[in-house]
Amino acid sequence: MTLWLIRHAQPCVAPGVCYGVLDIAAEALATQHAAAELAAVLPQGLQVWVSPLQRCELLAQFLRGLRPDLAFKTDLRLGEMNFGNWEGVPWADVPRTALDAWTADFGEHRFGGVESVNMVLARVHAAWSDTRAAVRSSGATAALWITHAGVIRATGLVAQGIDALNDAAQWPQDGPGYGQWRQVALRGSV
């Protein structure tokens, strides 16, 4: 079984701004382009789970128009990490002490006061398990998530059987670019 993971297109936000759960739009033309490229390669009849943030919903809308064979569901667990107080703030303006506190306790610290990395991993793991069960029960061989770079990185860890981190060095640095996708094998227990 395969899980396709696509990141939303370029968001309409200034470079260098922290925008985890900030509900901002994505560039429409770039979103259309990503949807067209993805529509051309996806298998038939996939179940598609979508982050509720508008930059992902727009991609789902364009893809739905191109691929009526796909079944779409919104899943709150696919939203990006909530950076709390730092949402909408340029990363350059985040105090060094806040960043240091986060990296000192990377897995458990709630950077911005709302959500920790391990909380993100827990919700991604739950979504992974539910997606795997749904794919298995439907007899399909694949599924698609329309989501964010942080969720895609977390999914890579979950695919390796990692459900908690202690050290910032464990966080994957290689995320897909805007409008890009990757595939992972949907293995593991449900």
Q: How confident is the model at residue 110 (pLDDT cuts 50, 70, 90)?
A: very high
CATH number of the domain that residue 34 is part of = 3.40.50.1240
Query: Rounded to an integer, what distance in angstroms lies between the CA atom of residue 138 and that of residue 126?
Result: 18
Per-residue pLDDT at 15 exceeds 60: yes
Range of the domain at 156: 2-185
Residue 161 within a domain: yes
pTM for the model: 0.95
Query: Rounded to an integer, what distance in angstroms lies between the CA atom of residue 148 and that of residue 181?
Result: 10
145-156 pLDDT per residue, tens: 999 999 999 999
Q: How many domains does the chain have?
A: 1
Residue 150 within a domain: yes
60-107 pLDDT per residue, tens: 999 999 999 999 999 999 999 999 999 999 999 999 999 999 999 999
Strand duo 2-7 + 142-147: pairing: parallel
